Amino acid sequence: MTAQGPRWRHWLARFGWAEACGFAGSYAGFFALSAADTGPELAAFGAALGENVGYYGTIFLRDWRALPSGERRLRPVLLAMLHDFGMAEALDTLVVRPAITLSTVSLLGEALGVGAGKIAADVVFYALALLFYERRRAREGRR
């Protein structure tokens, strides 16, 4: 529990819009590479790439805009993102998300499979990302 309420509400406020943009990016990336006739394996990586563009673009812009205009520096925002997401993202982009997307698309078809794969991969991603995010918040709270 945080001072403002349940932790899940804080997480929803932080990650909700980013997830919506990532979801749209996932479909855009998958279908863009599918239309280019790359095959399902590369299209699955396209879904991961599209997800990243939508998700991290939203996180970056929100964190950047939250800083007072005189304190907006690229390095601290990127370092915080690297800390919070680095390990989870490396595993997610290179292994988990493409494998799960490929599996769910082959089982459920493209229309449902891309979304189902995104949701399933997010469970693995957030298990790591929230651990690092909360660790950074606790460390910053002690200062």
DSSP state of 67: S
Tokens of 12: 């929803």
The DSSP code sequence of 56-115 is HHHHHHHHHHHS-GGG--HHHHHHHHHHHHHHHHHHIIIIIHHHHHHHHHHHH-HHHHHH
Q: Under a CB-based contact definition with an 8 Å cutoff, are residues 27 and 113 in contact?
A: no
Residue type, 60: F
For residue 2, the SS3 value is strand
The one-digit pLDDT tens for each residue of the chain (143 residues) are 445 567 888 888 888 999 999 989 988 998 999 999 888 888 888 888 898 999 999 999 999 998 888 888 889 899 989 988 999 989 988 889 889 989 999 999 988 998 899 899 999 999 999 999 888 888 887 54
* Cα–Cα distance for residue pair 46/97, rounded to 1 Å: 10
**Residue 14: CA atoms inside 13 Å, Cβ hemisphere, count?**
14
Q: What's the pTM value of the predicted model, to 2 decimals?
A: 0.76
Structural domain spans, the chain: 7-137
